[in-house]
Amino acid sequence: MDLKGKAALVTGSTSGIGLAVARALAARGADIVLNGLGDAGAIEDLRATLAHEHGVRVSFHGADLSAPDGAEALVAHAQADPGRIDILVNNAGIQHVAPVEAFPAERWDAVIAINLSAVFHTTRLALPGMKARGWGRIVNIASVHGLVASAHKAAYVAAKHGVVGLTKVVGLETAGSGVTCNAVCPGWVLTPLVQAQVDALAQIRGLDGATARRQLLEEKQPSRQFVTPEQLGDLTVFLCSDAAAQMTGSALVMDGGWTAQ
């Protein structure tokens, strides 16, 4: 799969799944715009390494996607450098775990803003250029929680179901235009977002890290193995290929059997 000459914006790509997706797209020759939060020096190292290893143009914009003007600034940056968005990967996301009656309203607002509304804002801003050029790929990193629920994840489950719904609408509105929009629904992936949940489980149950990881997997994921960020990077590359040109509006699970139960 050759993505030379394509430009990709990957939100939340300073860590975890987003970083692996950015690496996978860069490895196929795409120019990359990185986005996310974190230490400026470490992010600059990431940016420079990615550009050097794959001989592609890589820039970074640290827009905070919890407000619409963050998404607007990020898309404007990508449209200036490298100059357009052919591939948009909406990946930035946060989690908060609490029962509904104890769920802080401020955390609800933040999860909905970053995990759902930001997907709408980047999509509405990137779509006109994709449509005008007759080619585009939008990949929304949703979750199994876009299809099924777990207790204590009200905002996350609501946001991810919203992303799956938005994906269907955008798939319909762009059908036949050369633009596709699909959602990827991973099960457990061992990233900082999930490590926090492993640590919480270890503390609540008095477990060591390895046992907590095993118990977390056993409760939901029949394979008892984590999905890797690299596997999600390769799935994203596939969705950018010609083989996937007729896949749109879909929600693809990669979940070790979680949603088959």
Binding-site ranges for ligand NAD (CB under 6 A): 12-18, 35-38, 64-66, 91-94, 114-115, 141, 143, 186, 188-189, 191-194
How far apart (Å, rounded) are the C-alpha atoms in residues 135 and 180?
Answer: 8
Give the residue with the Cβ less far from ligand NAD, 130 or 156.
156
How far apart (Å, rounded) are the C-alpha atoms in residues 14 and 39?
Answer: 9
Give the residue with the Cβ less far from ligand NAD, 92 or 239.
92
**Reduced to 3 DSSP states, what percent helix, strand and coil does the chain have, rounded to the nearest 5?**
55, 15, 30
The residue from 60, 108, 156, 226 that is catalytic is: 156
The nearest distance, CB 62 to ligand NAD, in angstroms, is 8
| DSSP category for residue 228 | P
131: three-class secondary structure by DSSP: helix
| DSSP category for residue 226 | P
Give the residue with the Cβ less far from ligand NAD, 177 or 252.
252
How far apart (Å, rounded) are the C-alpha atoms in residues 88 and 73?
Answer: 15
| DSSP category for residue 101 | G
CA dihedral 189, 191, 196, 199 (to 10 degrees): 70
Residue carrying structure tokens 């974190």: 38
Is residue 24 a contact partner of residue 8, using CB atoms and an 8 Å limit?
no
The nearest distance, CB 192 to ligand NAD, in angstroms, is 4
Give the residue with the Cβ less far from ligand NAD, 68 or 131.
68
Judged on CB neighbours under 10 Å (0-12, 13-18, 19+), 242 is: exposed
The nearest distance, CB 229 to ligand NAD, in angstroms, is 7
The nearest distance, CB 68 to ligand NAD, in angstroms, is 12
Give the residue with the Cβ less far from ligand NAD, 93 or 162.
93
Q: Catalytic: 238?
A: no
The nearest distance, CB 242 to ligand NAD, in angstroms, is 26
Is residue 243 a contact partner of residue 175, using CB atoms and an 8 Å limit?
no
Degrees (nearest 5) of the Cα angle 36, 171, 58? 30
Residues with a known catalytic role = 156
